[in-house]
Amino acid sequence: MSSSYLILGGCGFIGRHLIKYLLDEKLASKIKVADRTLPMMCNMHDSYEALYDNEIVTFKQADLSRADHIERAFEDGPFDFVINLAAETKLGLAETEYKDKVQGLTVNVAKAAAAAGSKFIEVSDARVLKPSKKPAPEDASKDPTTNLAKFKLAAEAELTQIPDLQYVILRPAVVYGPGDQNGVIASRLVCAAVYKHLGEKMKFLWDGKLGINTVHVTDVARAIVHACKELPSGAVYNIADSGCTTAGSINEILGNMFGIKTGFVSAVENTAAKMKLSMVTGIVNDKHLKPWAELCKKDGIFDTPLSPFLDKEVLGNNHLNVDGTAITATGFKYRVTQMTEGKLRQMVNEYVEQGFFPKSVL
């Protein structure tokens, strides 16, 4: 039987894939999307923008950090399921931004879901887990490595205290796939293009063993629907493929894709980075930004959301090794079990089609 969905922040990277999955599999009778940005302003590929014109999909522009806009989002209900993808996702912002637009927003929309009798799915962040050289399960120690994750964890704690709230928490690892324009993998794809342009070896901090575990966006979308239909209230699950992605495995794929040499900086440089990560991050970004602009100009690209910029919060020597197997015991199966060159080429091909990525470096 089809269900009704309210997708908060539904114009974002994960949201558009969730809508596509619901429509392709005919799993929804009604989908309402609430987002502060119009679909046409989200740099979507045409194939995704068309989803919002489907007869069962409605859109409401709403800034969900405002109480009156939350009421606007929940109009036309009730909804069987409320999916929260609306929180701030940019890194490097002031803590007050995350307190309001991650913790505060999440708690307020969850209270609205409880009042409406809707099951609430919170898409959190695996970076709430303490960095570990071994894959961390859901009940591992917590020590968020970004400010965003710090306030995601605070929001998780508050959800448990909301009366009558039926909820599930999902903690995805690094999410990648078509439409990823600001994430860790998108930035590294752009960096690889820069080094192809410069004719230099691409070297990152730390070493190839650094865990940067991943999950494909289509599996995140499927996990959200699985949480709606199958997981009990109060459940918390990590979402990560079994490929155990590392900095080294990412470099290997990028080296093959772009025909460049890859590696890691020396022990001396790593020691300097540990002491002055902000300064080193600034130097790295300065090295990348100008050649990226030159490369885009060369290919006639004057407006692109893609950037080689890497925030210091994701450049730190912090493993993200995530055990995403527990959810498989509930009947969920990952369809993309590891990152491959083919999956990253899909991303780049979409960028090229949209005029966001220079074809000359491929």
What pLDDT, in 10s, does the model give residues 52-63? Answer: 999 999 999 999
Asked if pLDDT for residue 191 goes beyond 80, the answer is yes
Residues 25 and 55 grouped into a single domain? yes
Residues 160 and 294 in one domain: no
- Measured at the CA of 30, the angle between CA 24 and CA 32, to 5 degrees, comes to 100
Average pLDDT for residues 218-233, to the nearest whole number?
Answer: 99
Query: Is the pLDDT score of 65 beyond 70?
Result: yes
Residue 330 in any domain: the answer is no
Instruction: Evaluate if residue 258 carries a pLDDT over 90.
Output: yes
The pLDDT value given to residue 145 = 93
Q: Could you tell me the CATH number of the domain that includes residue 157?
A: 3.40.50.720
SS3 206: coil
Which range (110-114, 144-148, 165-169, 334-338) has the least confidence? Answer: 144-148
The reply to whether 93 falls in a domain is yes
Over range 97-125, report the average pLDDT: 97
CB 180 within 8 A of CB 217: yes
pLDDT the model gives residue 88: 82
Which of the four pLDDT bands, split at 50, 70 and 90, describes residue 274?
confident
For the cut 90, the answer to whether the pLDDT of residue 48 exceeds it is yes
Read off the pTM: 0.96
Evaluate whether residue 279 is within a structural domain.
yes
Q: Is the pLDDT of residue 86 over 80?
A: yes
Q: Is residue 264 part of a domain?
A: yes
Buried b (16+ CB within 10 A) or exposed e, 64-85: bbeeebbebbbeebebbbbbbb
Helix ranges, 160-308 (H): 184-198, 217-230, 247-258, 267-275, 277-298
| 331 falls within a domain | no
Mean pLDDT on 42-51: 96
Q: Which domain holds residue 128?
A: 3-175+215-239
Average pLDDT, the chain: 95
Q: How many domains does the chain have?
A: 2
Any domain includes 327: no
Say whether both 301 and 283 belong to one domain: yes
pLDDT at 263: 95
pLDDT score, position 87: 82
166, 188: one domain: no
Establish if 196 belongs to a structural domain. Answer: yes
Same domain membership, residue 276 and residue 170: no
Residues 90 and 194 in one domain: no
For residue 325, is it within any domain? no
> Which pLDDT tens digit goes with each residue over 259-273?
999 999 888 788 877
**163 and 147 belong to one structural domain:** yes
349 and 201 share one domain? yes
Q: Do 115 and 193 lie in a common domain?
A: no
Residue 86 and residue 232 in one domain: yes
b/e burial code for range 4-26 (CB count within 10 A of at least 16 → b): bbbbbbbbbbbbbbbbbbbeeee
Reported as a pLDDT band with limits 50, 70 and 90, residue 1 is: low
Most confident of 95-104, 259-268, 308-317, 320-329: 320-329
What confidence score (pLDDT) does residue 312 get? 86
Name the domain boundary from 203, 223, 239.
239
Distance between CA atoms of residues 113 and 93, nearest Å: 28
pLDDT at 276 over 80: yes
User: Per-residue pLDDT averaged across 146-159, rounded?
Assistant: 96
> 197 and 307, same structural domain?
yes
DSSP H or E segment with residue 67:
helix 67-74
Are 167 and 18 within one domain?
Answer: yes
Q: What is the pLDDT of residue 2?
A: 86
Is 78 a residue whose pLDDT tops 70? yes
Q: 185 near 212, Cβ under 8 Å? A: no
